[in-house]
């Protein structure tokens, strides 16, 4: 029983130390400005649209190929 009681403060100290470490690391983060955030968001959205268009073209081409090979129509 005495062993168990002695490990509890150490556990709480480790948890506190963990969150102190998180806080100190968060302070080191360089957050983007509002302008950068808008720019990055635009880049992500444009990239998603381009990939969606690319995969739509690819899907359509494979569908046409399958229709031609299997003599089916959809």
This prediction's pTM: 0.59
Q: Which long-range contacts (CB under 8 A, 24 or more apart) does 38-41 make?
A: none
Q: Where residue 2 falls among pLDDT bands split at 50, 70, 90?
A: low
Quick: pLDDT tens for 27-65: 999 999 999 999 999 999 999 999 999 999 999 999 999
* Neighbour tally for 5: CB within 10 Å: 8
C-alpha 57/C-alpha 51 separation (Å) is: 10
Beta carbons of 67 and 73 less than 8 angstroms apart = yes
């Amino acid at each position: 029983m005495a062993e168990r009681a002695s490990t509890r403060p150490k556990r709480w100290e480790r948890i506190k130390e963990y969150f102190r470490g998180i806080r100190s690391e968060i302070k080191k983060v360089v957050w983007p400005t509002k302008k950068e955030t808008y720019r990055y968001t635009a880049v992500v959205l444009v990239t998603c649209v381009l990939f969606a268009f690319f995969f739509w073209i690819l899907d359509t081409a494979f569908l046409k190929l399958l229709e031609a090979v299997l003599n089916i129509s959809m």
